[in-house]
Structure 1
Amino acid sequence: MIGEIRKKDLNPVVDALPYIDQGYDEEAEAAAMALIQEECSRYRHVTSTKYDLPPLNFNKFLTELLKAEFERIQNRQPMQGLNMRRYELPGPSSTRVGDLDSWQEALQNAKAQLEQQDMRILSLELMVEYGAEAWKMYLEKAEKTRNLYRKHISSLREKVQAVHFNRKRKQTEAGDELKQLEARWVSLVTKNYEIEKICAEIAVQNAIKRKQLEE
């Protein structure tokens, strides 16, 4: 029983047939709008929703970095540029020329700068030697990935189009059957009306004749 209910829930009955429905006329639209207005008139009118929402907290996502940046902008201070001191090779100051520790510190800084420059040169040499081929391989993989997604999208579009065609075919067939059933229903209702009319006329005639016979 539960399985049947779940199966029914997964297959809802849709009473709209967009491929064959002719829409509604002005009279039906006016009737629908009247029902909507009548239902809306029963709702409690709310002039303000300020009590339904929590107060806004504009500082919730502010970090210390953002606060400092907003403060800089508010004070109209210029943005700090890149710090290039790490690329400089300063020697000991004039007051520390004779200080051995100052010279050791300057020497360590020079060695670090030289090592960094050597690494950058090595990276550039590797890029010159292998960068083009690596980029070509990346482009080939990207092209294959793009073609794969294009095929997948094309397949999905074909499936969607097939679904639309299938729906249109089924709805068109159902529409033809509905038109035939509607025409048959109209014919039967008309015949029933004619029969009821004739029966009413016969009943009137019988009543008149009965009255005449009684007289």
Structure 2
Amino acid sequence: MPLINEWHASLPYIDGEPDAQARAKAENLISTELSPESRSTLHPEIPALSEPSFTPLVEQELARKEAGLPLTGGIDLSRYEAPEAPDGKANSEEEATKALKQWREALVQAYTSSSHLSMRHANLSLLEENGKNAWLIGNSQLEDILRNVEKELADTKQTVENIHKERKFAQESRHGELTSLEETWKNGVGATLDVEVAAENLRLQILEQRRQQAQQVAR
């Protein structure tokens, strides 16, 4: 939503396109009115950007991407792999204890892998059974959203077009009045200039007559 809701009541349907000289003159007048820091400083009504706030993990990932380092860490998938059977030979009590520990670790890893495979099998079965319908329902919902957005866009375009038509009709219907007012203004300015020129000529004539009279008196 824009901060300022306004439009400029220009006359694009009546006024002609300015030539390069007139445009350059207008841009020069605008630039002289602007402050020197206008090109580097935002308008005071534009809100300042809020400082981003990321979690430590996101900041760590951004720093990694900025440094161009490869992706490391993440989920260790090796625990879902089928474990290798440890060597069952034990020639001493210490080796037997060590072998027993390895077998327990292998058993835990095998249980984890089995649970993972069972969950994957269940999920794939559910996907095979219900995935098609869920996909079709999702597509139908997206199509409904798309239709609503397209309808809203079409209504907005129609509203804008109607506004342009109303503006064009209003401006063209006032074209004669504006032309008459412009001619009246030009004639008024011209008459004012004629009066100023005549007044200046009369002033010069009065000064000339006074000068001549002063010369006659001096003789």
TM-score, normalisation: structure 2:
0.56
State the distance in 2 between where 1:109 and 1:131 align.
31
Cα shift readout 1:103-133 (whole Å, capped 9, x = no counterpart): 1221121111111111101111111110000
State the distance in 1 between where 2:130 and 2:106 align.
36
Assess, with a 3 A threshold, how the Cα gap between structure 1 residues 118 and 177 changes in structure 2: closer, same or farther. Answer: same
The reply to whether residue 17 of structure 1 matches residue 11 of structure 2 is: yes
Give, as a single letter, the amino acid of the residue that structure 1 aligns with 2:60.
T
SS in 1 for 2:114: helix
Assess, with a 3 A threshold, how the Cα gap between structure 1 residues 82 and 151 changes in structure 2: closer, same or farther. Answer: same
Q: What is the match of residue 126 of structure 2?
A: 126
- 1:1-215 alignment runs, 5 A limit: 16-25=10-19, 28-29=22-23, 31-32=25-26, 35=29, 39=32, 63=60, 66-67=63-64, 70=67, 84-86=77-79, 87-93=81-87, 98=96, 99-185=99-185
Q: Identity, % of aligned pairs?
A: 27
Query: Unaligned regions of 5+ residues in structure 1, if any?
Result: 1-8, 45-60, 201-215
Question: Would you say how many aligned residue pairs link Structure 1 and Structure 2?
Answer: 171
State the distance in 2 between where 1:118 and 1:184 align.
91
Assess, with a 3 A threshold, how the Cα gap between structure 1 residues 85 and 28 changes in structure 2: closer, same or farther. Answer: closer
SS in 2 for 1:63: helix
State the distance in 2 between where 1:34 and 1:106 align.
81
| Higher RCO structure (Cα 8 Å, ≥6 apart) | 1
TM-score, normalisation: structure 1:
0.57
Query: Unaligned regions of 5+ residues in structure 2, if any?
Result: 38-57, 202-219
Following TM superposition, by how much is the alpha carbon of 1:195 offset from its aligned partner in structure 2, in angstroms?
11
Following TM superposition, by how much is the alpha carbon of 1:95 offset from its aligned partner in structure 2, in angstroms?
7.1
Could you say what the CA RMSD is over the residues aligned between the two structures, in angstroms?
4.7
